[in-house]
Amino acid sequence: MTRVLVAYGSSEGQTATIAERVGDVLDSAGHEPVLIHLKHPPSGLDVAAYDGVIVGASIHAGSHQGYVAEFVRDHRETLNRKPSAFFSVSLTAANADPVEREPARELLEAFLEETGWEPDGTLTVAGALKYSEYGLVKRFVMRRIAGKASGDTDTSRDYEYTDWDEVEAFALEFSSQLS
């Protein structure tokens, strides 16, 4: 059975939820996924012991979690030798207009350039607005950002924009590359 490391960074939980769905797809396809939150990686994590690696991160204030970039930089050579894939979660990717979505792709490319990683697959995927989980300041800031982008501003509820079909297709495509 092939073991796949699904390592992610998540600040409000949506990337964690997406990583779980990726894990479910891999599991259904007969692989053994192991999920880890990179903010608290287990000691002695041996990336080289896995048959493939999927990394996920979300965008906040124009960049992905620094601890995810650090993980990728630290394990770049191993990642570049194995089947690997990266998914980037953001609100920019939720935009209906492809031109408005372009910055999400640019930030993903910048992350790869900066870390020196060349994954086999990449995905920019829409995240969520979780007003109920933000503190007062964050809620205010996100409401303003959403308002400027003609997005959802009713802070009495949360919004999930993730396209689960897209996530499952990404995980299935990766799974097909594993022997």
Interface residue list for ligand FMN (CB under 6 A): 10-15, 58-62, 89-92, 127-129, 138, 142
Smallest distance, ligand FMN to C-beta of residue 142, A? 5
158 or 173: whose CB is closer to ligand FMN? 158
SS3 133: helix
DSSP 96: S
DSSP 42: P
8 forms beta bridges with: 37, 56
- List the structure tokens of 57: 């991160």
In one-letter notation, the amino acid at residue 18 is: I
3 or 138: whose CB is closer to ligand FMN? 138
Smallest distance, ligand FMN to C-beta of residue 15, A? 3
Distance CA 9, CA 65 (A): 6
Task: Enumerate the H helices of the chain as residue ranges.
Answer: 14-28, 66-74, 76-81, 98-115, 136-148, 164-176
25 or 59: whose CB is closer to ligand FMN? 59
Smallest distance, ligand FMN to C-beta of residue 131, A? 9
Smallest distance, ligand FMN to C-beta of residue 59, A? 4
4 or 57: whose CB is closer to ligand FMN? 57
